[in-house]
């Protein structure tokens, strides 16, 4: 009999190796969360510089109160799918509010951001269609493509001319969906949207942008990269999540297509799972209203992001990209030194994400930092200073 776990022996050995280096990043536990930027980890107060809490919104009293009120009014869970008993007035209110915020006719919510990508891609595309994916796309986008049964064509990361070539070569007869991300989650770079829109004008396809890391963060209205670039009319579908700038959990898809709501009957990740809990929906709704009412959070996030980016540049660190975003990734030479740096930083009181191959673009070893509007300048300066100390200890060599 073949043991089904045999295929996992390689990963088990790698896990052992990491444990022997004194790190278990995957099962690291926050013993207590003190605020959007502080937690107790391994018994000590730690600055959080590796969350997606971009707006620092997780402890806002009105968002907490909205969740608590919904718990009392609607109970702990919906116990059903959106197409059965799981649609409450709250879910409809959230979809309406969000459609208004995004300036789109239609919006549907999913239970997580991961499911939003599964649900939108598999709802939109079928076996006769082709989905064109940026090579660095998030796993949920790849998985959505698999679920759809559509033909998958990958193009080089952020390379509109490579997409152009592949579209010219393709002999597909069905629909064509191109998927981009507003800000890429590992390196923090933006999609060059204007270049892709040029290709769209030439070839004609439908365009979906996953604004998971840019929704609430970029653009004069906080609607994401397309808002920042002034190209919202060229984007057919927007995907986003409530687990980052909104500080809760859930996901959404939005668009203006007159048949958009048919996704409610064709998208399996929408239909065959329980709808988000009332407390989560109410919290997300309060957070969206807060983002709309408090644009200064976005401005503060931009200032904090630039401060960290410039501080790291001054230390001579190799960064994931040349543009400023709340994701600032430090490129390290190899797995062992990345782990050593991550450990040293944690011991010094700052938590960042460790990101290793195969989960990273180009097999890079990264210390991924993310900035929050709730970080003080002192926090940012401390993160920079601690990276400086780790570099001085000789753990860091520039990746070649």
CB burial readout 139-168, b (16+ within 10 A) else e: ebbbbbbebbebbebbbebbbbebbbebbe
- Looking at the Cβ atoms of 185 and 325, the one nearer to ligand PMP is 185
Question: How near is the Cβ of 81 to ligand PMP at its closest, in Å?
Answer: 18
Q: How many other CB atoms are there within 10 angstroms of residue 296's CB atom?
A: 9
- Looking at the Cβ atoms of 60 and 210, the one nearer to ligand PMP is 210
- Looking at the Cβ atoms of 114 and 260, the one nearer to ligand PMP is 114
Residue whose tokens read 């998958």? 152
Question: How near is the Cβ of 211 to ligand PMP at its closest, in Å?
Answer: 9
Which residues form the interface with ligand PMP (CB under 6 A)? Answer: 112-114, 117, 138, 140, 181, 185, 210, 212-213, 241, 243, 251
From residue 347, alpha-carbon distances to 22, 312, 331, 351 in Å are: 11, 20, 20, 9
- Looking at the Cβ atoms of 140 and 158, the one nearer to ligand PMP is 140
* Residues found in the chain: 400
From residue 166, alpha-carbon distances to 62, 135, 172 in Å are: 49, 13, 11
Torsion of CA 24, 213, 287, 249, to 10 degrees: -50
- Looking at the Cβ atoms of 129 and 210, the one nearer to ligand PMP is 210
- Looking at the Cβ atoms of 140 and 391, the one nearer to ligand PMP is 140
* DSSP letter assigned to residue 244: S
Please give the radius of gyration of the chain, using alpha carbons only, rounded to the nearest integer. Answer: 21
Question: How near is the Cβ of 378 to ligand PMP at its closest, in Å?
Answer: 28
Question: How near is the Cβ of 215 to ligand PMP at its closest, in Å?
Answer: 10
Question: How near is the Cβ of 5 to ligand PMP at its closest, in Å?
Answer: 26
- Distance linking the first and last C-alpha atoms of the chain: 46
Query: How far is the C-alpha of 69 from the C-alpha of 54, rounded, in Å?
Result: 25
Question: How near is the Cβ of 242 to ligand PMP at its closest, in Å?
Answer: 7
Tokens standing for 285?
A: 């709704």
- Looking at the Cβ atoms of 191 and 317, the one nearer to ligand PMP is 191
Question: How near is the Cβ of 134 to ligand PMP at its closest, in Å?
Answer: 11
From residue 186, alpha-carbon distances to 29, 36, 167, 288, 321 in Å are: 21, 21, 27, 25, 10
């Amino acid at each position: 009999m073949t043991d089904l776990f045999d295929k996992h022996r390689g990963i088990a050995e790698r896990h052992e190796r990491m444990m022997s280096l004194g790190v278990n990043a995957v099962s690291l536990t926050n013993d207590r969360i003190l605020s959007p930027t502080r937690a107790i980890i391994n018994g000590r107060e730690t600055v959080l510089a590796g969350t997606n809490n971009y707006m620092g919104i997780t402890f806002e009293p009105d968002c907490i109160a909205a969740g608590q009120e919904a718990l009392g009014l609607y109970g702990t869970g919906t116990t059903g799918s959106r197409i059965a008993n799981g649609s409450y007035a709250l879910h409809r209110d959230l979809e309406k509010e969000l459609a208004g915020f995004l300036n789109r006719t239609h919006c549907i919510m999913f239970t997580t951001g991961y499911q939003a990508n599964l649900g939108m891609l598999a709802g939109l595309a079928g076996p006769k269609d082709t989905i064109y994916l940026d090579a660095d796309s998030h796993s949920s986008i790849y998985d959505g493509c698999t679920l759809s049964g559509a033909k998958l064509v990958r193009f080089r990361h952020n390379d509109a001319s490579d997409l152009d070539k592949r579209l010219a070569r393709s002999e597909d007869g069905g629909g064509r969906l191109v998927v981009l991300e507003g800000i890429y989650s590992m390196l923090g770079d933006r999609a060059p949207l204007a270049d892709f829109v040029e290709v769209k004008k030439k070839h004609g396809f439908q365009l979906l942008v996953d604004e998971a890391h840019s929704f609430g963060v970029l653009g004069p209205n906080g609607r994401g990269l397309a808002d920042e670039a002034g190209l919202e009319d060229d984007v057919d579908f927007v995907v986003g999540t409530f687990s980052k700038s909104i500080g809760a959990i859930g996901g959404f898809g939005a668009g203006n297509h007159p048949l958009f709501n048919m996704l409610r009957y064709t998208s399996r990740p929408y239909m065959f799972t329980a709808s988000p809990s009332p407390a989560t929906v109410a919290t997300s709704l309060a957070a969206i209203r807060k983002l709309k009412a408090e644009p200064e959070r976005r401005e503060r996030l931009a200032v904090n992001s630039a401060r960290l980016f410039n501080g790291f540049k001054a230390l001579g660190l190799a960064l994931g990209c040349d543009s400023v975003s709340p994701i600032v990734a430090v490129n390290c030479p190899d797995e062992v030194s990345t782990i050593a740096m991550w450990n040293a930083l944690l011991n010094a009181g700052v938590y960042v994400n460790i990101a290793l191959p195969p989960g990273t673009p180009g097999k890079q070893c990264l210390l991924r930092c993310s900035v929050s509007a709730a970080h003080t300048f002192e926090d940012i300066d401390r993160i920079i200073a601690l990276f400086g100390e780790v570099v001085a200890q000789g753990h860091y060599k520039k990746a070649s």
